[in-house]
Structure 1
Amino acid sequence: MARRARSHWFVFVVMTIGIVALAAALTAIGIGVAGSALAWRAWMHHAAPYFLIWRLLLYAVLGGVYLQLWRPRLRSMQAEQADGGAAAHARLVRIERLMVAAIAVVELSNLPDLIGWFHG
């Protein structure tokens, strides 16, 4: 069991490093294309509402895929458990709510940029 847990942590760390490296590379490319860090920041500010639309569409597609494909599979696996999946279902609902709350926090943290775009 300990070996399996270590492999999960290894995958998590490698994926996190990969995501950070990809973000840094995309930022460097963007700064190069824009000409300077200030021009890149101005472009990002100008594109803020379009990024919001993109993220909302992405959330809708991912939510739809989850509800149509993954949630029914999880529920069927839970139904096979000894207690009929009641405890697992409660955990699943709690995780779903936490994910919605995390997305809301992320989007609310972007709200000042969006408000600044409309005023500015």
Structure 2
Amino acid sequence: MATRTKPIGPVLLLVASLLGIGISLYYYLTPLTGVNGTFGALLVVVSTLLMALAGLLLLPLRRGFLAGLFRVLALLAGIGTLAAAWFLHEFWLMAAMVVALLGVIVDFGSGKGGSR
């Protein structure tokens, strides 16, 4: 009997996005971080939430239009969030987004030949 393993790309994306949510919430809610309460920090919270949602949706999806769409959207969100983290000087968030982007890239490579 063959065992099914979780695809590593979406798992990396999901875990890094969840870390990103925690980091961005910390910066948004904690006074004296320099970005607390700002629209940019709130936008980063929302983008990391959407990336985590994409990671959850990519776990069961291996092929097809929706899988490709979520991969592209997660890639664009990761790049945008990485840029925002750079501008906000949130270096831990940048590290989390690099891991998330690695997860998306791995999923791009493994999504073509996977079976449903």
Q: Which structure has greater helix proportion?
A: 1
TM-score tier after normalising by the smaller chain length: 0.3 to 0.5
Please say which structure displays the higher CA radius of gyration.
1
Q: TM-score, normalised by structure 2?
A: 0.33
Relative contact order, higher structure (CA 8 A, sep 6+): 2
TM-score (normalised: structure 1): 0.32
